[in-house]
A and B are shown apart, each in its own frame.
Chain A
Amino acid sequence: MLRYIVRRILQGVLTFFGATLVVYALMFANQNDPLQALAGERPISEAARAALTERYHLNEPFIVQYGYYMRGIFTGDLGTSLTGRPITQLLDGAWPNTFRLAVMAVVFAALIGIVAGVVAGIRRASIFDHSTLIITLVLISIPIVVLAPLMQLFFGVELRWFPATAGANPTFYGLILPAMVLGAGSLATYSRLTRTSVVENLRADYVRTAKAKGLTRNRVIGVHVLRNSLIPVITYIGVDLGGLMAGAIVTEGVFNIPGVGSQLFRGITTEDGPLVVGFVSVLVIIFIVANLIVDLLYAVLDPRIRYE
Chain B
Amino acid sequence: MRGKTAIKISAGLAATALLVTACGGGGDDEAGASNAVVSVEVAEPQYLLPSNTNETSGSQVLASLFTPLVDYDADNKPVEVAAESVTTTDNVTWTIKLKDGYTFHNGEKVTADSYINAWNYGSYGPNGQNNSYFWEKVEGWSDLQSEDPDGEEGPQKAPEPKAKTLTGLAKVDDLTFTVKLSAAFSEFKTMLGYTAFYPLPAAAFASEGVVKEDFEEAIIGNGPFKMKGTWQHDSQIEVEQYAEYPGDKPKIQGVIFKIYQALPAAYADLASDNLDVLKTIPTENISSAEADLGDRFKKSAASTFQFVAFPTYQQEFSKPEVRRAISQAINRDEIIKSVFKDSQTSARSFVSPVVAGYREDTCGVNCAFDAAKAKSEYDAAGGPKKITITYNGDGGHKDWVDATCNQLKTNLGIECTGVAEPKFADLLTKLDQKQPIGMFRMGWVMDYPSMENYLGPIYTTDGSSNYYGYSNKQFDTLYKEGVSAATPEEAIAKYQAAEDILANDMPVIPLRFGQNNFGHSTKVKNVEMDLFNRVNLLKIEAA
B271 to chain A, nearest CB (A): 5
Q: In the complex, which of the residues B129, B258, B428 contacts A36, with contact meaning CB atoms closer than 8 Å?
A: B428
B296 to chain A, nearest CB (A): 15
Q: In the complex, which of the residues B133, B259, B265, B443 contacts A254, with contact meaning CB atoms closer than 8 Å?
A: B265
Q: Which residue of B lies closest to A149 (CB)?
A: B264
Within 8 A of A (CB), among B81-139: 125-130, 132-133
B129 & A85 in contact (Cβ 8 Å cutoff): no
With A52-B128, A165-B265, A255-B265 given, is the CB distance from A42 to B235 under 8 Å?
no
With A45-B132, A48-B132, A53-B152 given, is the CB distance from A167 to B261 under 8 Å?
no
Q: Which residues of A contact B465 (CB under 8 A)?
A: 42-43
Q: In the complex, which of the residues A41, A93, A253 contacts B233, with contact meaning CB atoms closer than 8 Å?
A: A93
Q: Is B147 an interface position by the 8 A CB rule?
A: yes
Q: How far is the CA of A51 from the CA of B161 in the complex (A)?
A: 12
Q: Which residues of B contact A39 (CB under 8 A)?
A: 130
Q: How far is the CA of A90 from the CA of B235 in the complex (A)?
A: 12
Q: How far is the CA of A165 from the CA of B269 in the complex (A)?
A: 6
B41 to chain A, nearest CB (A): 10
B152 & A84 in contact (Cβ 8 Å cutoff): no
A46 & B259 in contact (Cβ 8 Å cutoff): no
Q: How far is the CA of A130 from the CA of B271 in the complex (A)?
A: 39
With A50-B158, A253-B261 given, is the CB distance from A152 to B125 under 8 Å?
no
B391 to chain A, nearest CB (A): 12
Q: Is B358 an interface position by the 8 A CB rule?
A: no
Q: Which residue of A lies closest to B152 (CB)?
A: A53
Q: How far is the CA of A52 from the CA of B425 in the complex (A)?
A: 17
Within 8 A of B (CB), among A81-106: 83-85, 89-90, 93-94
Q: Which residue of B lies closest to A53 (CB)?
A: B152
A165 & B152 in contact (Cβ 8 Å cutoff): no
Within 8 A of A (CB), among B16-41: none
Q: Which residues of A contact B291 (CB under 8 A)?
A: none
Q: How far is the CA of A44 from the CA of B133 in the complex (A)?
A: 10
Q: How far is the CA of A89 from the CA of B236 in the complex (A)?
A: 16
Q: In the complex, which of the residues A40, A157, A258 contacts B259, with contact meaning CB atoms closer than 8 Å?
A: A258
B257 to chain A, nearest CB (A): 12
Q: Which residue of B lies closest to A162 (CB)?
A: B272
Contact string against A for B residues 136-156, beta-carbon threshold 8 Å, 1 for contact and 0 otherwise: 000000000111100011100
With A49-B152, A51-B127, A168-B234 given, is the CB distance from A153 to B268 under 8 Å?
yes
Q: Which residues of B contact A169 (CB under 8 A)?
A: 235
Q: Is B464 an interface position by the 8 A CB rule?
A: yes
Q: Which residues of B contact A84 (CB under 8 A)?
A: 47
B259 & A168 in contact (Cβ 8 Å cutoff): yes
Contact string against B for A residues 23-44, beta-carbon threshold 8 Å, 1 for contact and 0 otherwise: 0000000001100111111111
Q: In the complex, which of the residues A32, A48, A90, A165 contacts B129, with contact meaning CB atoms closer than 8 Å?
A: A48
A269 & B272 in contact (Cβ 8 Å cutoff): no
B268 & A269 in contact (Cβ 8 Å cutoff): no
Contact string against A for B residues 268-290, beta-carbon threshold 8 Å, 1 for contact and 0 otherwise: 11011010000000000000000
Q: How far is the CA of A84 from the CA of B153 in the complex (A)?
A: 22
Q: How far is the CA of A37 from the CA of B427 in the complex (A)?
A: 11
Q: Is A291 an interface position by the 8 A CB rule?
A: no
Q: In the complex, which of the residues A153, A168, A253 contacts B262, with contact meaning CB atoms closer than 8 Å?
A: A253
Q: Kindly state the interface size class of chain A when it binds its partner.
A: 35 or more
Q: Which residues of B contact A160 (CB under 8 A)?
A: 7, 11, 272
Q: Which residues of A contact B133 (CB under 8 A)?
A: 45
Q: In the complex, which of the residues A40, A153, A254 contacts B55, with contact meaning CB atoms closer than 8 Å?
A: A40
Q: Is B376 an interface position by the 8 A CB rule?
A: no
Q: How far is the CA of A41 from the CA of B428 in the complex (A)?
A: 9
Q: Which residues of A contact B315 (CB under 8 A)?
A: none
Q: Is B379 an interface position by the 8 A CB rule?
A: no
With A43-B464, A51-B126, A53-B152 given, is the CB distance from A164 to B145 under 8 Å?
no
Q: Which residues of A contact B44 (CB under 8 A)?
A: 258
Q: Is B349 an interface position by the 8 A CB rule?
A: no
A163 to chain B, nearest CB (A): 7
Q: Is A262 an interface position by the 8 A CB rule?
A: yes
B234 & A165 in contact (Cβ 8 Å cutoff): no
B423 & A37 in contact (Cβ 8 Å cutoff): yes
Q: Which residues of A contact B433 (CB under 8 A)?
A: none
B274 & A252 in contact (Cβ 8 Å cutoff): no
B261 & A156 in contact (Cβ 8 Å cutoff): no
Q: Is A256 an interface position by the 8 A CB rule?
A: yes
A12 to chain B, nearest CB (A): 30
Q: Which residues of A contact B125 (CB under 8 A)?
A: 46-47, 50-51
With A38-B46, A93-B233, A164-B274 given, is the CB distance from A256 to B261 under 8 Å?
yes
Q: Is B390 an interface position by the 8 A CB rule?
A: no
A51 & B268 in contact (Cβ 8 Å cutoff): no
> What 9 pairs across the A-B complex have the smallest Cβ distances?
A168-B235, A51-B128, A47-B125, A258-B234, A36-B425, A256-B265, A48-B128, A164-B268, A164-B272
Some 20 contacts from A to B, beta carbons below 8 A apart, are A37-B425, A41-B392, A41-B424, A42-B130, A43-B428, A48-B128, A48-B130, A50-B148, A52-B128, A84-B47, A85-B233, A93-B235, A149-B268, A157-B268, A160-B272, A164-B268, A164-B269, A168-B235, A253-B262, A269-B394
Q: A48-B130, A50-B152, A157-B272 are in contact. List 20 more A-B contacts (CB 8 A).
A: A36-B425, A41-B424, A45-B130, A49-B152, A50-B126, A50-B128, A50-B146, A51-B127, A52-B128, A157-B271, A160-B11, A163-B272, A165-B266, A167-B258, A168-B234, A253-B265, A254-B268, A256-B262, A258-B44, A266-B261
